[in-house]
Structure 1
Amino acid sequence: MSADAGDGSAAGGAPATSAGARSEPRCSDLARRRGDPLVGTAPPARRWLLVELESRWLPTAVDSLGLDPSAREDLTRAAARARARIMLIRRPGRPAAHEPASAPGARRRAWCVVDDPVLARGPVTTWGTWTTPGDLLEAGRLLQAQATSESAPVEPVRAGPGTSAGTPSLLLVCAHGRHDVCCATRGRPVAAELRRAWPEATWECSHTGGDRFAANLIVLPDGACYGGLDPDSAVQVVQRHVAGSPDTAYLRGRTGWSRPAQAALLAAHRAMPGSAWGAFAVKDVTSSGPQHMVYLSAGQATFAVPVTEQARDAERITCAATADGRVVVPVAGEVQLLP
């Protein structure tokens, strides 16, 4: 599956291929100085295939798995049909060197398929193990089954049920230095701090999109995406999230939703502080060019949120970009309660 940036990027900026293409200042430093808006930049994936691999992360996640061409095609096709994203995961604070994944006697590593709670017709998270690349085909078959069994879209489409019992299931912090150095330098300290508080839930992960927003965090299966985090702010963000309410200062959006719907969701949470994650559902979106009207529901109430997509001036959006790129930002208007 292609590594969609999920950050509103338009043509003009080259994708990151190495961490050392430019020296300081880094893209995340520039984004913070500019005050780049986070809104509407959550990844587009609705499902996830997480594959544990400690070392050998190449710039593209699936290239790191050592699959033969046929198996690679089967796995990426299954992910595409399931609207899933393949990401590598590893525990923070890993040793510097590890045996190859397929070495004789290598320990079994984990894989996890995470379904969207709205789409799920079975378990939301399914764990398995792998030693050889061929073992990952089981995960591919599960993705394929999810895609073929998916019924018509559920209406209304909700943000997700929220993390139950005040404990996160999966905290994924991008630390993919081979994709962009900002992900490593900002992401690894955040992952280490989160692991102290939630050791079982916390993983480093490969590219999430939005390198300039490092450190980036995805909370699964809730689908909340946060950016611009540091170790202290990350702990506070997760504490607020598991308590039921998103921290809108760092919220990029809801994974799998369109940019206008993400902007409307953020506007609703800001207009109604204390609203629980998952309280709002998207009933409908009408569009005319860059103008959108997003209709949200919460209980018996219905809200209309106008959203305009605006192109920003060309900016440096990754550390390894060879040219500045343009991004499109959804700007929400006033949240209106409908009669």
Structure 2
Amino acid sequence: MTDFRCAAASRERGDALAGTASTVRSYLLVEHAGPWGVDVLRDARLPYGLGVHLREVAGRHRVRVLLIRRPGRRAGDAGVHVFACRAAGPESWTETVVLDELNDLRDLDLAPLGAGRSLGLEPHTPPLLAVCTHGRHDACCAELGRPAALALADGPHADEVWETSHVGGDRFAGNLVVLPRGLYYGGLDAAAALAVADATAAGEVLLDHFRGRSDLPMGAQAADSALRRELGLTGLDDVLARSVRVDGEVTTARFDVAGHGAREVVVRRVPGETAHRLTCSARRDNPVPRHEVVEVRPA
């Protein structure tokens, strides 16, 4: 089974991308060239005790810590680049600082970030393009993510491109997250990654590879994607979530839709009928759930 690749199996099954983004609102990106190991806060060569500290503090404040590096592990500028990102639709923001050393992270208070408030760092305006290349976590992320990251590094948006540790959804590799908006894309090759970068620069969403917005529950992500596809809307703020209600497997989301007023979308999570290996290292099979749009109605 060593030749098994979860991304290839997922593409062959035709797994739906919509509604599969990890649900995260607050991110802390920390530059670390690697190696990262399987679990970055446990296995990466961080200063003694720092991984444990970050895991405890970030977990308490619901902040997702990602390790980042420049594509190809090329040397970056001096110091440790750190980005704090908050995914909140049009109110999303990124702040940054360059630390002298990794241990200076201990002085960073993550409580405001977890609550959606500024850390008082330097504002950072351009979107970040974070490509998962975490091969020790899943082989597909390295095999499919690295070519995408290298292609972006040779393009016009190279300054905003970073390789990142595990972001979720290995079977959708290559994966890319646009921050601070928390836009997840999957199934990317080099050409598709460049298309995502161009769409991002134009203030648009590339629907063909769109997994969802990380600041919404998965059912609402699927509803957002369904509305965009039905109405042909690609602008970042063409579909704005106003309320989300989750009742068991059913999600009801209300959106303000550009040119179409308010819409309410009802989505049902449908469990998969057959179990499959969902990651390259999975030790057991699991069903592949999907989201089914039940109704779209004026709100």
TM-score w.r.t. the length of structure 2 is 0.87
Partner of 1:177: 135
Amino acid at match of 1:196: D
User: 1:240 offset after TM fit, Å?
Assistant: 2.1
**Which of residues 217, 221, 225 in structure 2 aligns to 1:262?**
221
Quick check: 2:79–2:98 contact (8 Å CA) kept in 1? no
Alpha-carbon RMSD across the aligned residues, in angstroms, is: 2.6
- Structure 2: distance between partners of 1:66 and 1:321: 27
Does the alignment pair 1:322 with 2:244? no
SS of residue matched to 2:154? helix
- Structure 2: distance between partners of 1:110 and 1:128: 5
Cα deviations by residue, 1:96-115 (Å, 9 ceiling, x for unpaired): xx9xxxxxxx9522122112
- Structure 2: distance between partners of 1:285 and 1:149: 19
Quick check: 1:61–1:86 contact (8 Å CA) kept in 2? no
**Which of residues 248, 251, 271 in structure 2 aligns to 1:289?**
248
- Report how many aligned residue pairs link the two structures: 289
Partner of 2:31: 52
Q: For structure 1, list consecutive stretches of 5 or more residues without a partner in the other structure.
A: 1-21, 99-105, 152-162
Does the alignment pair 1:231 with 2:190? yes
- Structure 2: distance between partners of 1:65 and 1:329: 38
Cα deviations by residue, 1:303-336 (Å, 9 ceiling, x for unpaired): 0111010111211111111211223322224432
User: 1:127 offset after TM fit, Å?
Assistant: 2.1
Change beyond 3 A, Cα 1:117–1:290: closer
**Which of residues 171, 179, 194 in structure 2 aligns to 1:220?**
179
Q: For structure 2, list consecutive stretches of 5 or more residues without a partner in the other structure.
A: 119-123
User: 1:73 offset after TM fit, Å?
Assistant: 4.2
Change beyond 3 A, Cα 1:245–1:272: farther
Cα deviations by residue, 1:150-177 (Å, 9 ceiling, x for unpaired): 59xxxxxxxxxxx97xxx5210000000
Partner of 2:71: 92
User: 1:65 offset after TM fit, Å?
Assistant: 4.7
**Which of residues 244, 251, 268 in structure 2 aligns to 1:308?**
268
Structure 1 stretches of 4+ moved >4 Å: 117-121, 148-151
Partner of 2:112: 145
- Structure of greater relative contact order (alpha carbons < 8 Å, 6+ residues apart): 1
Whichever structure has more strand as a proportion of its residues is 2
- Structure 1: distance between partners of 2:261 and 2:186: 30
Alignment of 1:6-155 (within 5 A): 22-63=1-42, 64-69=44-49, 71-94=50-73, 107-117=78-88, 124-131=94-101, 133-139=102-108, 141=109, 143-147=110-114
SS of residue matched to 1:124? strand
Q: Percent identity?
A: 34
State which drifts further: 215-224 or 73-82: 73-82
SS of residue matched to 2:71? coil
